[in-house]
Structure 1
Amino acid sequence: MKQWRGGLAAIAILIAGGCSEGPSPMSLGVNQGQLAPCPDSPNCVSSQAADENRWVHPLRYQGERARARAQLLAVLDGMDRAEIVQADESYIHAQFRSAVFGFVDDVEFLFDSPGFIQVRSAARIGYYDFGVNRERVERIRVRFAEAMEES
């Protein structure tokens, strides 16, 4: 019974907003032309990952980078519980919060070569993400492709 109460206390702290965010990872951003590698935990996907279990396709576009960047920002801005933290010419960082506990996932985009946008999506805390980051990247991919076709 004591362990159960302790678990409830931990959940209460998370709900109250105490620890659900976790510290901002120091590895965010671009280092030597690359996004950070995924950690050993299965809660991250990246188009630059060597491990096929963590690898996702980069986003693709035709035309001008500025147009693709504007469309990607519009897609992110239209998604639930998303906040754009940084938007430079070739790099975008957004945070997504989970609906119930407010856990934060960091999603990064790097315009590293014409027609390609590298992407990385990772949970800040926890071990498993139950496929949430992969699903999010695929949802962004579909919305981005639709936005590019419409514009």
Structure 2
Amino acid sequence: MTLKPLLLVILAMFVFLGCASKMSKVPGNLGVKDGKLAPCPTSPNCVSSQAEDEKHRVAPLSLAGTPAETMDRIVSVLVETPRVSIITRTDNYLHAEFRSAFFRFVDDVEVFIDEADSTIHFRSASRTGYSDFGVNRKRVEALKKESQR
């Protein structure tokens, strides 16, 4: 294969992957049901503070202040983050979409403030693919750290 056809194949892959990520639909299982965020799938591209297994589990945070104040802090972190869109926001729930810089893959991030337990729960999951190379875990840990400042 000469260089020109190879470049065309690579270009076609980029176009396909870019279109595929734009076509990925919002999962139907997002939101809080009976005080719980959706469980993670078996694939390693999701983390949740409500997960039972260590592969998917991240620690929740303790609520400091009112739910509205806490959500305001979290939102202030997110609006400063590149390629993030806040889709849904209430005083105790948030859904945001993170897009990767190159392929524009979408990850869904959810925050649930459980006022009864004084706990902030997090879930971050990739819409496509199998592995995320730890991106969702790093994202949640950074969000937790930045929102406590």
Matching residue within 64, 70, 88 for 2:72: 70
Matching residue within 40, 46, 49 for 1:47: 49
Q: CA deviation at 1:7?
A: 6.5
Q: CA deviation at 1:115?
A: 3.1
Q: CA RMSD in A?
A: 1.8
Aligned to 2:141: 138
Partner deviation per Cα, 1:27-62 (whole Å, 9 max, x = no partner) = 111111110000011000000000111000113332
Paired amino acid for 2:39? P
Aligned to 2:20: 19
Whether the 8 Å contact between 1:25 and 1:124 is mirrored in structure 2 is: yes
What is the rounded CA distance, in whole Å, between the counterparts of 1:20 and 1:6 in structure 2?
20
What is the rounded CA distance, in whole Å, between the counterparts of 2:76 and 2:107 in structure 1?
19
Provide the secondary structure at the position in 1 that maps to 2:72. Answer: helix
Paired amino acid for 2:102? V
Aligned to 1:117: 120
Matching residue within 63, 67, 81 for 1:61: 63
Give structure 1 regions of 4+ aligned residues with deviation exceeding 6 angstroms: 4-7
What is the rounded CA distance, in whole Å, between the counterparts of 1:50 and 1:128 in structure 2?
19
Q: TM-score, normalised by structure 1?
A: 0.87
Q: TM-score, normalised by structure 2?
A: 0.88
What is the rounded CA distance, in whole Å, between the counterparts of 1:40 and 1:7 in structure 2?
32
What is the rounded CA distance, in whole Å, between the counterparts of 1:145 and 1:128 in structure 2?
28
Gaps of 5+ in 1: 147-151
Whether the 8 Å contact between 1:63 and 1:115 is mirrored in structure 2 is: no
What is the rounded CA distance, in whole Å, between the counterparts of 1:45 and 1:19 in structure 2?
23
Whether the 8 Å contact between 2:88 and 2:94 is mirrored in structure 1 is: yes
Q: How does 1:31-46 map to 2 (within 5 A)?
A: 31-46=33-48
Q: How does 1:87-102 map to 2 (within 5 A)?
A: 87-102=89-104
Whether the 8 Å contact between 2:126 and 2:132 is mirrored in structure 1 is: yes
Gaps of 5+ in 2: none
**What is the aligned-residue identity percentage?**
46
Aligned to 1:149: none
